Structure 1
């Protein structure tokens, strides 16, 4: 990993963990050069990386400021929030999980290919309903390789799998490939998400990777269409 990437990651973690609050100014480039012992060009590249990720904004003549990740009372499918996990995204609010399925199975050929496994390997097969302030907002279908995410228990599923992966297993979640589309709910999803009438879901299909490049998760999350907001930052 290049030095500017490491600095960008550290700053991103500080923002995600609340060390910088929305609207707060980051240290000046000169101060960060002294803090990290690197050149001004390196700091500029690190900050530019955060700008691309939609976490900070540069204001000419003023400095660099943290953007708000909670402008609306909805679940934002931003990169930062996804990698923090559902529980961390809504820290301070009542978050719960309803476990519909927790089994060990062989992956299909399609899932095995995405997780770089053989079809005779084993994966956790998990279905959860995530609730925010007692309101069901998303159904998650997740598969993870057992040999990589070892020791996963039902108690962990009721809290945060991502926290377990990083804090207990000591891994670092790095990136994800996603596809987003609108779909109609199944009868089971309508029941679990308490949907009445016609309401499309926002489906996010994801393959997530650790910082060493290993895929650790294949998931399909189906969010209530009236309680989700997808955000994208485009850079020329």
Structure 2
């Protein structure tokens, strides 16, 4: 796998400084030029790192005024995941904490439903992937994913056992343009009971999404299942008016 991008390393360092109080809450942090000089990178690289921190609610960027440190959100929990994230579970939690168990990895022609969701023809082969994501030894997410083979060449089990999104971004140089996501509750099915240890009375949380590239092509349709007590999805709203 490719080395982690500079902006991700800078994001991690600034996040540590915020959480450790080096950049105190309710105070302005150093400006982008100062940070660019310190880390010996461009302002654009700093901006990308700060954008990610802003999406987590750790900072608030005020146009013309600077960047205000917000610090940890009181209601935020360790199991929370941003509903608008594009970095994937491995990046969010750290590769050393995440294990991926492959349940299904196959190439097939898409059903009518998958054709519609990925906006592809019936003769366009897709990967069907079912993975159990395990966080520090505890089953967390059951993912059922479809991707067009044409857009994701070379996908293999080794990649599935680590980070698919890192492969897309770093190796294939693909950029996500956006996503449509739907979060809903449901009852446990036999797979939830088998792989997530769900009981008959456990509500299930499902995240269904279609992700497209910056050229408009749909690259992923997936449905991820979580037990109600294992994961929450969060949204940060910022008033720019």
Q: 1:191 to 1:95 in 2, by over 3 A?
A: same
Task: State the match for 2:83 in structure 1.
Answer: 78
CA distance in 1, matches of 2:51, 2:168: 28
1:126 to 112, 129, 135: 129
Q: Where in structure 2 are there 5+ consecutive unaligned residues?
A: none
**Matched length:** 216
Q: Does 1:64 align with 2:38?
A: no
Normalised TM-score (structure 1)? 0.76
Pick the aligned partner of 1:216 from 208, 214, 219.
219
| CA pair 30-191 structure 1, distance change in 2 beyond 3 A | closer
Contact 1:21 1:66 (8 Å CA) reproduced:
no
CA contact (8 A) 2:81 2:234 kept: yes
- Report deviation, 1:68: 4.4
- Specify the alignment match of 1:157 in structure 2: 160
CA 1:194–1:74: 2 relative to 1, 3 Å: same
Query: Aligned ranges for residues 194-233 of structure 1 at < 5 Å?
Result: 194-233=197-236
| Residue 192 in structure 1 maps to residue 195 in structure 2 | yes
Paired residue secondary structure (1:21): helix
Structure 1, unpaired ranges of 5+ = 1-9, 38-42
- Counterpart contact for 2:179–2:211, Cα < 8 Å: yes
Matched residues in 2 for 1:73 and 1:145: separation? 33
Q: 95, 116, 140: which one pairs with 1:113? A: 116
Please state how far the C-alpha of 1:93 moved relative to its aligned partner.
Answer: 4.5
Aligned partners of 1:31 and 1:174: how far apart in 2?
30
Return the alpha-carbon distance in structure 2 between the equivalents of residues 157 and 95 of structure 1: 12
Could you state the TM-score of these two structures normalised by the residue count of structure 2? 0.75
